[in-house]
Amino acid sequence: MEKKPVRPRDAASLILLRERGSRLEVLLGRRGKGARFMPGRYVFPGGRVIPEDARCWAGERGDPALAFLALKRAALRETFEETGLVLGETQRSAERARGALTPIEEAYRAEGLAPAPALLRLVGRAITPTASPIRFHARFFLADARHAAGKLMPCEELDDLLWHPIEDEPPAMMQNVTKFMLRCAVEAWRGAAPASPPLYWHRGRRSLVRHGAAAR
């Protein structure tokens, strides 16, 4: 009897780009060889959405009705956990905490920044193939690294964490979906993004791209 495909879990990744002179660079890290998902591959920081991502953070800026808030918080939280960086705007005044702060809220406060999910722009979505035992419906967000603060620190989940010039040949151990989303991010950075972020998905062994699909 054929197994029923695993239902994809919501996930989010952050594509951080920065300009260095005439070069554009992207932050990439290599997943550990013992990782259950994409072991040994170069990826953007990111991971699955957890229930706590639905809660507003201390000092958070932006419209509470802003789309994808939980997903954006997941991308920001995972980026902090995997790289040590937080992304936000200068905090005008120290807001009094409502109870204990989470590690990422503490990090924002230490850097004098306010969380600003509005800085993240959706550039694409991807759904893991049905044959995979671990599946995600991942949203890929773009942000300018000028808004990032903190010390870049590799972790158990991501090592070889470096800024890579996009003009150079990408690391060999990079999935096609990662390369595709990087192209989407660069197009958006240069003002050439499509009206609707594309969906990268699979039919059998074929990789397909759907344009104009609902963003959710």
What is the CB neighbour count within 10 angstroms for residue 175?
A: 14
Phi first, then psi: give them for residue 140, nearest 5 degrees: -110, 120
Check residue 57 and give its pLDDT.
Answer: 94
The CATH homologous superfamily to which domain 9-210 belongs is Nucleoside Triphosphate Pyrophosphohydrolase (3.90.79.10)
* CB 163 within 8 Å of CB 18: yes
- What's the rounded Cα separation, in Å, for the pair 27 and 14? 9
Model pTM? 0.92
What SS3 state is found at 188?
Answer: helix
Check residue 97 and give its pLDDT.
Answer: 55
User: What are the extents of the domains in the chain?
Assistant: 9-210
DSSP of 4-54:
PPPPPEEEEEEEEEEEETTEEEEEEEEEPTT-SSSTT-EE-SEEE--GGGG
What is the CB neighbour count within 10 angstroms for residue 12?
A: 30
Chain-wide mean pLDDT for the chain? 90
What digits encode the pLDDT tens for the residues 156-174?
888 889 999 999 887 878 9
Q: Is the pLDDT of residue 204 over 90?
A: no
